[in-house]
Structure 1
Amino acid sequence: MKPLHTDSGIEIKPLYTQQDRPSPLTEPPGEFPFTRGVQPDMYRGKLWTMRQYAGFSTAEESNKRYHYLLSQGVMGLSVAFDLPTQIGYDSDHALAEGEVGKVGVAIDSLEDIGILFDGIRLEEVSTSMTINATAYILLSFYVAQAKRQGADLKKISGTIQNDILKEYAARGTYIYPPKPSMRIITDIFEWCSKELPKWNTISISGYHIREAGSTAVQEIAFTLSNGKAYVQAALAKGLDINVFGKRLSFFFNAHNNLFEEVAKFRAARRMWARMMKDLGATDPKAMMLRFHTQTGGSTLTAQQPLNNISRVTIQTLAAVLGGTQSLHTNGYDEALSLPTEEAARIALRTQQVVAFESGAPDTVDPLAGSYFVEALTDEVEGKAWELIGQIDALGGSVPAIEQGFIQEAIARSAYDYQRGIESGEKIIVGVNKFTVDKESPVPGFRIDDSIREMQSEKLRTLRARRNAVAVAGCLERVRQCATDGTNLMPAVIESVEAYATLGEIADVLRGVYGEYRGS
């Protein structure tokens, strides 16, 4: 019989017995090292937060989609930003041409944030924002909008991704070099620990590492290594690990190999708990790995796109059986375009069917004790620790990224995966097997290029109306903070409240830190 392997290269035996996992499973859920989950009762006490990642065109159009999703049962918002917003350019910048509103919503100023969340009380909804290089600006917009609503900042909850290391390794939406970027991140940790205590200050992301082509083992090894680097940077700044550690969160991918994905999530929790303990954490809540999951965008196919509903269902089950805290399910049409309203609704219904009809949430860690799952969890963990050891030998994640180690490992895995598809060794239904000669067209969702002119007109009006002297003074204070090491957040919040734009603030730090040019 030909050996079978997971995409991480772990051999799958035809049969698993007690000999493959001889020690009994005695550790309870909700206790160190949290292999079985971060809460004793898991979903019996509270279901995972059902989020749908959305954002496109203008703030006005995205606001309509948010109200629709909330009316359909979404429990938390998840904001997608367009590329210019992600890399610190206003919509009227020359480099923004052709990209405004295309892969997310265009946000240039506090005015746009006000429109985006019009009719949505920020005290009453948890918001996740997928933003990294400009996370400090978008968080400032969000805080300023909450203040305008009269909200109690101590009650505001949500997450900013704020994970710049994976941008250098896998995604590319960085602005500044690694060291000043790490300084910005620890400024956010420090400020939020005092002013925004319920806010998750970072979502350390394996999702994009996996989307770039990594294996499941590499996803958790590289992500946890990045997490370790953030913790060490915060400790070097004098922050208390038992305080900031409680607000660290993670963001993982869910792919189609159900059992490897469940094993990955269980192993990651156990590894992070031990890593944080070794770094000095004594509070169990600072050792908990809490994570959001998104189903795998790179697994979706343009061929026979309705098959993607089945893929997303498997991935949803993997996340739930693995103990996720929140979940986004992809639309079946996302290999073709931004999701239509119908596709977004079906994706949300997939979560709701799993939650209320499948029985998967009814007991804690339902696959625990399976010889196969326990052995696979151990193997995933062992291989991930080996990779982390190699990264540590290079000096940690930052030197490993600077030397190209992580990028090269991801590229090799992506190449091997694609080669397997092209050779037919790896079957993708509807792509290299079970194909059809003619497919029915699927309606797509398109964004008009006129969005850029609409945003540019908003900016012209804003700049004419605001107090230019006050804005200049605020931006100068941001520059001074960047130069002398004072925490940036108060000055940036002051700037956005004076209606400084995202691009103007990002440019101030470009002037101080320069821009990073990847190898």
Structure 2
Amino acid sequence: MNETITARPISQKTIGELRAEERDWEANEVAQFLRKQAERRSDFFTLGDIPVKRAYTAADLADTPVEDIGLPGRYPFTRGPYPTMYRSRTWTMRQIAGFGTGEDTNKRFKYLIAQGQTGISTDFDMPTLMGYDSDHPMSEGEVGREGVAIDTLADMEALFDGIDLEKISVSMTINPSAWILLAMYIVLAEKRGYDLNKLSGTIQADILKEYMAQKEYVFPIAPSVRIVRDCITYCARNMKRYNPINISGYHISEAGSSPLHEAAFTLANLIVYVEEVLKTGMQVDEFAPRLAFFFVCQADFFEEIAKFRALRRCYAKIMKERFGAQNPESMRLRFHCQTAAASLTKPQYMVNVVRTAMQALAAALGGTQSLHTNGYDEAFAIPTEDAMRMALRTQQVIAEETNVTQVVDPLGGSYYVESLTTEYEKRIFDILDEVEERGGTLKLIQEGWFQRHIADFAYETALRKQSGEKPVIGVNCFVDDTPDPVIHTHPYDQTTATRQIARTQRVRSERDPVKFDLLLQQLVETARDPSQNIMPITIELVRAGATMGDIIETLKGVWGTYRETPVF
């Protein structure tokens, strides 16, 4: 005889009942099954070393207030910054490109746009990143090799020739010299007659993560942070749709940090920048709506989704509770995402297509606003057109074929994802509290505290890969003796430096030397007065034919340079 079972909704069960039921399950079904077949190991962790339970129930949400989950587009924005998300518009597909001269990269931009790319992202060569002109001795052998070379406004004109900057957003991945590139972009827009308030995009400009992780810096910390402040205040008043900074966890992660430290250290940097801008007298709601972020999407699928959701919640609470933001736009964390370059391998390199697809899917489910997917050949060199097309098609398949865009935050309510989101939030705020207690972000950068945490996790990860504890397909497991297909990598054009230097020298020869020298002196005076904004004089210098090297070398004479204290 069948018994009639009256089911109660989970919401009506007490937490105690749920936990008692879980203990009973462990003691019976789980224990019986383990006697037949043991689990693969005794304990499980996320990639970021957070312990993972066997299964999650509604009891695991006991510490998560319902209002902390909320609804998309509503504070604290855990489920997404906008109420309709991809039902209205999919994320911006922003494949990065940069090599050779402005003309060379312009061709790649146009190719990607023709393939359906919806945003531009620009990689710059090492001399440009560090503020050296292409004919400087330090630039020898590096001009246009791992990014596009930009010395003057003429290069910027070539870079964006034939591209309507009012219709497509442009991201520029550059930090210590970012404000000079922004000045060139502004002058180019003005020459074309554009409305600056219609321009969209971002410079990265996040200099603090350079001291922590990527090590591309020029000046000491204080004047570098002042430059960031000046970019934010200038854009807030003159470029209403432009993001003057892309506060970046990506490079913290690529330097070897855990996903948790990527998240927490990025928010620690955010706090410094907001405090610096507030010192100018500007109100938080005047500039915060245009702050933007850049994160990696690593291999741990659910951890990454929870990380993005927790970041939105933490940011909203920081902006509202710490800085008193009133405008919801000031509390919405918007971010660009890139799949993890550090996860790409040379052996069995076509497996990188699968890795990238999984990471891109996690980024979409985590609610990214913009996405770059890596090329399968990026472990070797700058990606080829074929690799970039495949990477872009990966995004397009997710957006157009999988239907994951139909529901906002489809994993919202998952016991595991919600529990991990709350755990991330707690741990992020624990780290931020520790940073405050130890004297703040700037002090700890100088002491090497952040650098030490990054290096320690990177070392532990390397040991795990070496031992096989952290599987890497084709490297430490499933190794195949079958040779990989021959890969054709992107070639370096040996004429690049010659072509680039010729244009730079032509610009120098054609400018008005008297006007140029007067402007350089004004730059020195502005640099010596920290209350002034450095953007207007930089814009005038760029318009007058200044090279990036002219501006950087002049300011080295005022501010000096930065040398890091080694950390062991």
Give the TM-score range, shorter chain: over 0.9
Find the counterpart in structure 2 of residue 495 from structure 1: 541
TM-score of the two chains, using structure 1 as the length reference: 0.98
Deviations 1:95-138 (A, max 9, x none): 01111111110000000000000001111110001011111100
Q: Which has the larger radius of gyration?
A: 2
Equivalent-residue separation in structure 2 for 1:321 and 1:459 (angstroms):
45
1:420 maps to 464
> Are 1:143 and 2:186 counterparts?
yes
| More displaced stretch, 100-109 vs 5-14 | 5-14
Which residue in the other structure is 1:237 paired with?
280
User: Does 2:518 correspond to 1:469?
Assistant: no
One-letter code aligned to 1:215: S
Equivalence for 2:555: 509
In the alignment, what sits opposite 1:215? 258
1:154 and 2:200 equivalent?
Answer: no
Letter aligned with residue 371 of structure 2: L
Paired residue type of 2:525: Q
Q: Distance in 1 between matches of 2:50 and 2:232?
A: 37
Alpha-carbon offset, residue 394 of structure 1? 1.9
Q: Pick the aligned partner of 1:323 from 367, 385, 389.
A: 367
Contact 1:161 1:201 in 2 (8 A): yes
RMSD: 1.1
Q: In structure 1, how many angstroms separate the alpha carbons of the residues matched to 2:547 and 2:430?
A: 45
**Any conservation in 2 of the 1:329–1:348 contact (CA below 8 Å)?**
yes
Q: Which residue of 2 aligns with 1:11?
A: 51
Alpha-carbon separation, structure 2, partners of 1:446 and 1:324: 32
The whole-number CA distance in structure 1 between the counterparts of 2:160 and 2:462 is 41
State the aligned residue count.
519
Paired letter, 1:329: T
Partner of 1:64: 107
Question: What's the counterpart of residue 33 of structure 2?
Answer: none
Residue among 496, 501, 526 paired with 1:451: 496
Contact 1:121-1:149 at 8 Å conserved across structures: no
Q: Which residue of 2 is the match for residue 93 of structure 1? A: 136
Q: C-alpha displacement at 1:7, in angstroms?
A: 2.0
| Larger RCO (CA within 8 A; separation ≥ 6) | 1
Write the mapping of 1:90-489 to structure 2, written as runs, cut at 5 A.
90-277=133-320, 278-437=322-481, 438-485=483-530, 486-489=532-535
Aligned amino acid, residue 20 of structure 1: D
Q: CA deviation at 1:24?
A: 7.0
- Once the two structures are TM-superposed, the CA of residue 484 in structure 1 deviates from its matched residue by 2.1
Residues 247 and 294 in structure 2, CA contact (< 8 A), matched pair in contact too: yes
Percent identical pairs in the alignment equals 48
CA distance in 2, matches of 1:162, 1:290: 16
Q: Distance in 1 between matches of 2:354 and 2:424?
A: 25
Relative to the length of structure 2, the TM-score reads 0.90
The corresponding residue for 1:82 is: 125
Structure 2 distance, partners of 1:241, 1:455, is: 42
How far, CA to CA, are the matches of 1:482 and 1:462 in structure 2? 25
For residue 512 of structure 1, what is the amino acid of its counterpart?
V
Deviations 1:60-112 (A, max 9, x none): 11000001111111111001000100110000000011111111100000000
SS state at 2:96 partner = strand
Structure 1 position 279, deviation (Å): 1.6
CA contact (8 A) 2:365 2:404 kept: yes
Residue of structure 1 equivalent to 2:16: none
Matched, 1:73 2:119: no
Q: Hey, what's the Cα distance between the residues in 2 that align with 1:203 and 1:69? A: 22
* Worse overlay, 477-486 or 180-189: 477-486
Aligned partners of 1:34 and 1:269 also within 8 Å: yes
For residues 436-487 of structure 1, the C-alpha deviation after alignment (integer angstroms, 9 at most, x for no partner) is: 2222221111213432222112122221222122211221111111112321
Amino acid at match of 1:499: G
Q: Please give the per-residue CA displacement for 1:187-243, whole angstroms capped at 9, x wherever unaligned.
A: 111111111111101100000000000111111000011001111111122221101
Letter in 1 for 2:560: G
Which position in structure 1 is the counterpart of 2:14? Answer: none
Mapped to 2, the partners of 1:429 and 1:231 lie a distance apart of 42
Per-residue displacement from partner, 1:374-416 (whole Å, max 9, x unpaired)? 1111112222222112111122211111110000000000001
Give SS of 1:362's match.
coil
Structure 2 distance, partners of 1:186, 1:239, is 11
Q: Which runs of 4+ in 1 moved over 6 A?
A: none
> Could you tell me which residue of structure 1 aligns to residue 29 of structure 2?
none
Q: Structure 1 residues 24 and 358 mapped into 2: Cα distance closer, same or farther (>3 Å)?
A: farther
Secondary structure at the aligned position of 2:405 is classed as helix
- Measure how far apart 1:500 and its partner are: 0.6
SS at match of 1:120: coil
| Greater mean alpha carbon deviation, residues 477-486 or residues 72-81 | 477-486
Contact 2:349 2:484 in 1 (8 A): no
